């Protein structure tokens, strides 16, 4: 149902929060590999995503941790061992990740014509 174009549509606080939390150039992929593929370590995550610098990956992981989607566990070992996992909030995002992947597979499987 098209909105009468003059009518003011209020900004949805949840959609703008979701945009802020999972938006950007990398976070959907990072959540996919950490959450669905069980990739835990910094180096392994970096290899999966490809083309991301160490500093950008660190920043993205810190933001995901700050926003409560992943947790960082330092085992206090030498050499250092640190793992990233989904939090309960992050686990709640897994169905969305699966829906995103399924849509992607449907739409871009053979680069179907529009």
Chain position carrying tokens 């250092």: 80
Chain position carrying tokens 């829906």: 99
Q: Which of 18, 58, 72, 73 binds a second copy (CB under 8 A)?
A: 18
Please state the φ and ψ torsions of residue 38, each to the nearest 5 degrees.
65, 25
Contacts with a second copy by CB under 8 A: the residue count is 56
User: Is residue 70 within the footprint of a second copy (CB under 8 A)?
Assistant: no
CA atoms within 13 A on the CB side of 54: 1
Question: Least Å distance between CB 101 and a second copy?
Answer: 5
Residues 6+ apart with CB under 8 A from 62: none
Cβ count within 10 A of residue 60: 20
Question: Least Å distance between CB 62 and a second copy?
Answer: 15
Q: Which of 74, 77, 105, 110 binds a second copy (CB under 8 A)?
A: 105
CA 106 from chain centre, in angstroms, equals 20
Instruction: List interacting residues with a second copy (CB under 8 A).
Output: 1-3, 5-6, 8-9, 11-19, 21-29, 32-33, 37-41, 44, 47-50, 68, 87, 89, 92-93, 95-97, 99-101, 103-109, 114
């Amino acid at each position: 149902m098209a909105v009468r174009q003059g009518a003011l549509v209020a900004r949805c606080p949840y959609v703008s929060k979701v945009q802020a939390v999972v938006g950007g150039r990398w976070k959907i992929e990072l959540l996919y590999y950490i959450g669905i593929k069980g990739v835990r370590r910094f180096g392994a995550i970096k290899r999966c995503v490809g083309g991301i610098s160490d500093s950008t990956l660190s920043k993205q992981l810190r933001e995901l941790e700050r926003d409560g989607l992943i947790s960082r566990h330092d085992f206090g070992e030498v050499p250092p061992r640190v793992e990233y996992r989904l939090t309960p909030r992050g686990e709640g995002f897994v169905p969305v990740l699966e829906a995103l992947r399924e849509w992607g597979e449907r739409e871009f499987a053979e680069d179907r014509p529009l």
